[in-house]
Amino acid sequence: MASLKEIKGRIQSTKKTKQITSAMEMVSASKLNKAQQNAQRYEPYTKKIKDVVSGIAAGSSGISHPMLEERPVKKTGYIAIFTDQGLAGAYNSNILRDLMQKLRERHQSKDEYTVIVIGRTGRDLLKRYGIPMFDEITGLPDQPSFNDIKNVTRLAVDLYANEDVDELYIWYNHFINPIQQKVTEKKLLPLTEEVSEEDSKGTAQYEYEPSPEAILKQLLPQYAESLIYGALLDAKASEFGARMTAMSAATDNANNMVDDLTLSYNRARQAAVTQEITEIVGGAAALE
Give the largest CA-CA distance in the chain.
116
| Whether 121 contacts 84, CB under 8 Å | yes
Examine residue 95 and state whether it is found in any structural domain, yes or no: yes
Distance CA 195, CA 71 (A): 16
Examine residue 98 and state whether it is found in any structural domain, yes or no: yes
The domain containing residue 181 runs over which residues? 26-245
Query: Which residues touch 235 (CB under 8 Å, ≥6 apart)?
Result: 81, 172, 173, 174, 175
What CATH number does residue 112 fall under?
Answer: 3.40.1380.10
Residues of the chain with pLDDT under 50: 197, 200, 202
Examine residue 282 and state whether it is found in any structural domain, yes or no: no
pLDDT value of position 94: 94
Examine residue 230 and state whether it is found in any structural domain, yes or no: yes
Task: Give, as one character, the DSSP assignment of residue 201.
Answer: T
Examine residue 15 and state whether it is found in any structural domain, yes or no: no
pLDDT value of position 288: 62
Examine residue 141 and state whether it is found in any structural domain, yes or no: yes
Distance CA 255, CA 261 (A): 10
pLDDT value of position 59: 59
Give how many domains the chain has, as a whole number. Answer: 1
pLDDT value of position 198: 52
Examine residue 147 and state whether it is found in any structural domain, yes or no: yes
Distance CA 57, CA 64 (A): 8
pLDDT value of position 102: 93
Distance CA 68, CA 220 (A): 9
Distance CA 81, CA 228 (A): 10
Examine residue 250 and state whether it is found in any structural domain, yes or no: no
Cα-to-chain-centroid distance, residue 39: 14
